[in-house]
Every structure is written in C-alpha cells, then in structure tokens.
Amino acid sequence: MSADPAAQPSPGPDVVRHLYVHVPFCPTICPYCDFHVLTRRAGLVERYLERLEAEAAALAATYRVELDTVYLGGGTPSFLRDAELEALVGSVRRHLGWGRLENTLEVNPGTVTPERSAHWQALGFDRASVGVQSLDDATLTFLGRQHDAQQAREAVRTLIGTGLRVSGDLITAVPGQPLESDIQGLLDLGVGHVSAYTLTIEPGTEFARRGVTVEEEDERRGFEQTEALLSARGLTRYEISNYARPGQESRHNLAYWQGRTYLGLGPGAAGHYPALDERQRTGGILTVRRTNPHLHEWLTGEAGTAESIDAPEFVTDALFMGLRLRAGVNLGSLSRRSGLDVAGVYAAPIEANVARGLLALDGEQLRATPEGWWVLNRVITDFLEVEVPRQDTPGSGSPG
C-alpha cells in the first residue's frame, strides 16, 4: 500500500469499519481450490508477518479506521503456529485496532485442539468459520481434504464448547455426496450458521486438469435441497449461499453484500476504500477497489491494481452484491450513497426483470426472487447495458 502513488498521507474523510486479512498458507492444496494459497516454506511466514506489519501501519496512516469486524481468511489462518498468529493479531491491534462487533478466524478441522481453540478465543476471536465441507468420508476424500468426518465433528464440538460462534462451510453438488445427512449432521452439532457453496471447477485447478465436471442438474438440486433442509431446521437463507439462525448472520460478510468499504491486508487481498480527497470526489470517484499482488511481489512492497469506482459502477456493484441478500437493496438509500436517481436511471432493467419474475420491487426495496438468484449474472448484465452519462467534470458527481 505504501508504494501506491494514489495513496495520500493524510487520513481520508470516511471511516472504514471492516478489515479482511489474507493468510495464504495451507498444509496442502485442495484439488478444487483457486484461491491464492501456497504451502509454507522456511522463512516465508516470518517475511509475511514483517510485511503485514508494515502494510497495517500504512493503512492506518492513510485511512480513518474504527473497526467493527475483522476476518482472517485464506488459506488456512488456523494453520499458523500459536506464536505466529499472536504476532499477526498484535500487528493488527497495534495499528488498526480490533473489531467491536465480530472477529472471525477461518479454521481447518485438522488444526483444532481444545488448547488452540481456547488460545484463539483469548486472542480475541469470537467466531470460527470451519471448513467442514462434508461429513462423509468418501466425499472428503474425493475433495482431497486432509480431515475425516470424525475430525470435523470433533473440531466443531470443541470450538462451540470453547464458546465461539461457529459457522460450518459445506460444499454441495459433489458427485455421490449424501447432502441430507451432511446438513443434518452439521446442524446436530449445534452450528448457528452454514455457508453452502456449489462445487465449481475453476480453470487451472487440479480438478479442471482431471476433467471433473459438475452437472447443472446436481447444482440446482443441491441449491434447492440445501434451502429446504436448513429452513426446516430454523436457519434462514439470508444470502444466496448463507444461512443463519436469527442474530447469527456474518456481520463481516454483510458489509461486502451491503457495498460497504473495507480494508484488505495481505497478499492477494482485495479491499474497497473510500475516495481519499476532494479531488477524487469532485472528479466523480466514490470509492476505490484495490487488489494486492500475490505473495512474492507483495513481499517486495509492490502495489497491486486499483480501480476507481464512479457512480454507475458503484450502483451496479451494489446491486450485484446486494441482490444476493434476501432483503435485497433499498433504492432510495443507494441513490443517496451514489448521487444517481437509481429507480429512474435503471427503470428499464428493473421493469423488464420484474416482468420476467426475476426481481420484485416493494416500495423502494428491490430484491431477487428465488428464480432471479439462479440467474443473477444475467439480471445484472441488463443493468450494465444502461448508458449513464459519465460525471467527469469537476464539481459534479459528489455523493448524496
């Protein structure tokens, strides 16, 4: 971040309340994974921690930060040794503070012991997102996971026993997966939140090389069965792939879906930042999205990519993310945040998709129907095709 020429030395005007930290290390690489991950090598974690401290200091010097949520994802943050995780948390706390409302650690079942779970809680984590993926040994083997079902059950019980809020991650649409017993088994363990993502075969992964495919029919069945089973047990689908008991929603992920700004710390981390100064604002820039480079470039202090977001892009981004939520998006609030009359400018795609049964408009609240969720990319394309005059003259386009 410090090498980014767009960064200004004085703090920007808007407070940033969310922080994502990327920990890129995993014990082994799963065959479906396309995240920025690598196995650890001597000296690499130490260099990562040093650079992370410098980047946290640079973010603190650039933005006004009062954190509500912190999320350590990866990779496998729980794979860090106790002293390493302590150093990481220390750097974050020293420069950026700690989340007032929620602090999540992504956890691999194979890394959990009662002692480590207690240590994570003592460090300030109150929520664990656990990569269970399935409770069926054959499915876990197919997915190339290093844990078995028994370890996953033990890990969830231990974390809940320590007093952490636990979210269980599941992968659906895996060939031969007993999805119903996976879901019932996970709920029987007492989790209050489930993230259920369809297995997707990304280019460049081991599964893509092996020619593994996922049938659309299995995908759709998984999508519908997951909702039916989880809602029957009292978890609401509050986002396309996320389910929670009341009050157990992920506050951090809600910030993404609600189009809030957040800091991204670590290699490969993406962040969504407020415009820093009047020059950007009066030039029609509302926010800036930055993505850090991968580990080796990041270690040298190389800047990542930065994309300035103007009002039309802010609106389509906010719709793309916000329509993932069951509650949808409030068009009045989006108009105030973007300075665009959203209901007026996007009247045509709104009306067309309401007529197709893909969107529903209730007063100012726009949401996707279950059918619309299934084809959300196509729905958003209609919004992207609207020509909005660019506000590129100084003095125009300041947010409402």
Work out which of 76, 338, 353, 391 binds ligand SF4, going by CB under 6 A. 76
CB of 352 to ligand SF4, least distance (A): 38
CA 264 – CA 252 distance, rounded (Å) = 13
Give min distance, CB of 35 to ligand SF4, in A.
5
> Quick check: 37 binds ligand SF4 (CB under 6 A)?
yes
At closest approach, how far in Å is the CB of 127 from ligand SF4? 18
Q: What strands, in cross-sheet order, belong to the sheet with 285-291?
A: 270-274, 285-291, 305-310
CB-based contacts of 234, cutoff 8 Å, min separation 6: 245
Task: Name the one range near ligand SF4 by CB under 6 A: 26-34, 148-156, 244-252, 335-343.
Answer: 26-34
Pick the piece of the chain touching ligand SF4 (CB under 6 A) from 55-63, 71-79, 282-290, 329-337: 71-79
Q: Which of 69, 78, 104, 108 binds ligand SF4 (CB under 6 A)?
A: 108
Among 29, 44, 270, 375, binds ligand SF4 (CB under 6 A): 29
Pairing outcome for strands 102-107 and 64-74 = parallel
Closer CB to ligand SF4, 268 or 284, in the complex: 268
Q: Count of residues binding ligand SF4 (CB under 6 A)?
A: 11
Among 12, 75, 185, 312, binds ligand SF4 (CB under 6 A): 75
Q: Which of 244, 224, 226, 249 is nearest to 234 (CA)?
A: 244
Q: Which of 12, 18, 19, 74 binds ligand SF4 (CB under 6 A)?
A: 74
User: Nearer Cβ to ligand SF4, position 26 or 155?
Assistant: 26
Residue 197 touches ligand SF4, criterion: CB under 6 A: no
Residues 6+ apart with CB under 8 A from 200: 32, 214
Torsion of the alpha carbons at 18, 22, 26 and 32, rounded to the nearest 10: 80
Tokens 């409302």 identify what position? 101
Closest distance of CB 74 from ligand SF4, Å: 5
Q: Which residues of 350-377 are buried (b: 16+ CB within 10 A; e: fewer)?
A: beebeeeebbeeeeeebbbeeebbbebe
Binding mask 129-148 for ligand SF4 (x = CB under 6 A): --x-----------------
Least gap, CB of 23 to ligand SF4 (angstroms): 9
Say how many residues make up the chain.
400
Provide φ and ψ at 233, rounded to 5°: -105, 15
Query: Candidates 11-19, 22-30, 351-359, 361-369 — which segment interacts with ligand SF4 by CB under 6 A?
Result: 22-30
Minimum distance, C-beta of residue 30 to ligand SF4, in the bound complex (Å): 3
For ligand SF4, the binding residue among 6, 11, 35, 197 (CB under 6 A) is 35
Verify binding: residue 30, ligand SF4, rule CB under 6 A. yes
- Where helices occur in the chain by DSSP H, the ranges are 44-62, 82-96, 114-123, 137-142, 149-162, 179-188, 206-210, 216-232, 251-257, 278-282, 295-299, 311-322, 331-338, 342-345, 347-355, 370-374, 376-384
Binding flag, residue 388, ligand SF4 (CB under 6 A)? no
Q: 37 vs 179, which CB is nearer to ligand SF4?
A: 37
Q: Is 61 in the site for ligand SF4 (CB under 6 A)?
A: no
Binding region for ligand SF4 (CB under 6 A) out of 29-37, 268-276, 283-291, 330-338 = 29-37
Among 6, 33, 327, 388, binds ligand SF4 (CB under 6 A): 33
Which CB sits closer to ligand SF4, 26 or 345? 26
By the rule CB under 6 A, 26 interacts with ligand SF4? yes
Nearer to ligand SF4 by Cβ, of 75 and 339: the residue is: 75
Distance CA 251, CA 101 (A): 8
- Which residue in 43, 47, 48, 42 sits closest to 74, CA to CA? 48
Q: Which stretch binds ligand SF4 (CB under 6 A): 5-13, 23-31, 50-58, 264-272?
A: 23-31
Listed as own residue / partner, the contacts of 95-98 with beta carbons closer than 8 Å and 24 or more positions apart are 95/53, 95/56, 95/57, 95/59, 95/60, 96/19, 96/56, 96/59, 96/60, 96/65, 96/67, 96/263, 97/65, 97/66, 97/67, 98/67, 98/70, 98/124
Q: Which two tokens stand for residue 57?
A: 């200091």
Binding footprint of ligand SF4 on the chain (CB under 6 A):
26, 29-30, 33, 35, 37, 74-76, 108, 131
